[in-house]
Amino acid sequence: MIENDIKVRHVADVIDHLGKAEQLLTIEGQHNLPHEWVGGTMDILNSSARDPTFILHHAFIDYVWEKFRQKQERLGENPEYYPSLGKTSETDKYNLTAFHNATNVMACFPWMKNKDGYRSDYVGILYEYEDSPKCPDCGKSKYITCNEKLNRCIGIVPTESEEENSSPWIIIGGAITFGIIIVCFLLARSKKSHSVVATQKSNMLRHIVF
């Protein structure tokens, strides 16, 4: 919807500073709901970046945002326009105005302002996105298939036999990984003990000499 619905053309149409993250038309909805669905560390602000799915998810959100910007260009909108949040009870409640004004300095990036994040010169110079697979062939991938009802490519759920066939390899891989960790731990401990013994011998020699 963010990419294809021509009624969704302004930044105000896809951002949501009123806390309605359940709206799938908003970039916040696309972002927040998977965090909540995965749960665990992924659903906690201070730990979500430690979850293995975090980078994949945020790469997808960046992709959706870039597709929206490309649509803006096609519709004659300026993708570098940074909107004003305005004054609402919610912006006061969450102090969003203080953090997200266009001219505010970015946290951790003191040489940049918030509005610099809307610049177009990152794409094409630093990176670019390929189009996501589309129906009917879904890029001929063996991992996704076309859902004709949604007209969208979705992941293929493995069958029970496929899961059973993969289970032994998962166990073997886990055992090998655990074994490597144990060996590394023992080697590190051995080096530490040798270092302690060498230090003790050195101290003894120093006492004998002096």
Give Cα separations from 103 to 5, 81, 113, 119 (angstroms): 30, 12, 6, 14
- Per-residue model confidence as pLDDT tens digits over 34-89: 898 898 989 888 888 888 899 999 998 888 888 888 888 888 888 888 876 655 44
Task: Copy the structure tokens of residue 108.
Answer: 């951790």
pLDDT at 165 over 80: no
DSSP 123: B
Stated pTM of the model:
0.62
Place of tokens 């038309």: 25
Sign of the C-alpha dihedral computed for residues 79, 85, 91 and 94 taken in this order: positive
- At residue 205, the pLDDT reads 44
Question: Is the confidence at residue 91, as pLDDT, over 60?
Answer: no
| Residue 53 · residue 38 · CB < 8 Å | yes
The candidate with the shortest Cα–Cα distance to 24, out of 3, 45, 48, is 3
Label residue 100 by pLDDT band (50, 70, 90).
confident
Residue 69 CB contacts under 8 Å (≥ 6 apart), including other chains = 79, 120, 123
CA distances (Å), origin 98, targets 17, 31, 45, 183, 207: 13, 22, 20, 51, 65
Which percentage of the chain shows pLDDT scores above 90? 6
Give me the amino acid identity at 94: Y
More confident site: 87 or 180: 180
Higher pLDDT, 79 or 99: 79
On the question of pLDDT at 141 being above 50, the answer is yes
Residue 99 has pLDDT above 60, yes or no: yes
